[in-house]
Amino acid sequence: MDWFSIGDVTWVGVAVATLAGFIVTTAWYHPRALGTVWARLAGVDVGDLRAGMAPRAATTAVVLALTAVVFCVLQLELGVTSVIGGLAFGAFVGLVLRLAWGFIHGAYEGRPALLTVLDGAYDVVALAVIGAVLGAFL
């Protein structure tokens, strides 16, 4: 697979994109933002979320970093090397592969549609931010 090479990855861009994605995650799911609404729809107690925050934060950081690496490689291969291009690329991936597919999963799982919208909209925003940040570094 010559096209999927991490040799050209901009590691500083990946680190900044990971941090930006983490900030979006924290802001989105914070109880003062959409976290309380999300927890109610998901049937999760906000207090229970706070209790196990460290493992969730570590998992989030790893997933965001892996996502940023893959986005960096894809954006380089596709020539998406601007902030606006990265924003559009990330939003498109989030819209099609997360929000739209989330409706399929949500329907089969019997999840409230608003929960799927909240999670999917988060994915669109977070992936758009990651793409835009990477676009600034590429």
Q: What are the tens digits of pLDDT across the range 92-118?
A: 999 999 999 999 999 999 999 999 999
- Which of 123, 136, 19 has the alpha carbon at shortest distance from 84? 136
Q: Residue 8: inside a domain, yes or no?
A: no
Residue 112 domain flag = yes
Task: Tell me how many domains the chain contains.
Answer: 1
The single residue listed with the structure tokens 């997933």 is: 63
pLDDT the model gives residue 50: 78
**3 state SS for 54-77:** HHHHHHHHHHHHHHHHHHHHHHHH
Residue span of the structural domain in which 26 resides:
13-137
pLDDT of residue 97: 94
Is the pLDDT reported for residue 1 higher than 60?
Answer: no
Please indicate, yes or no, if residue 6 is contained in any of the structural domains. Answer: no
5 found inside a domain: no
In a domain, 1, yes or no: no
The pTM of this model reads: 0.93
What's the confidence (pLDDT) of residue 75? 97
128 lies in a domain?
yes
Predicted pLDDT at 52: 79
Q: What are 49-91's pLDDT values in tens digits?
A: 778 789 999 999 999 999 999 999 999 999 999 999 999 999 9
| Residue 123 maps to a domain | yes
| pLDDT at position 46 | 82
Is 39 contained in some domain?
Answer: yes
The predicted structure's pLDDT at residue 134 = 98
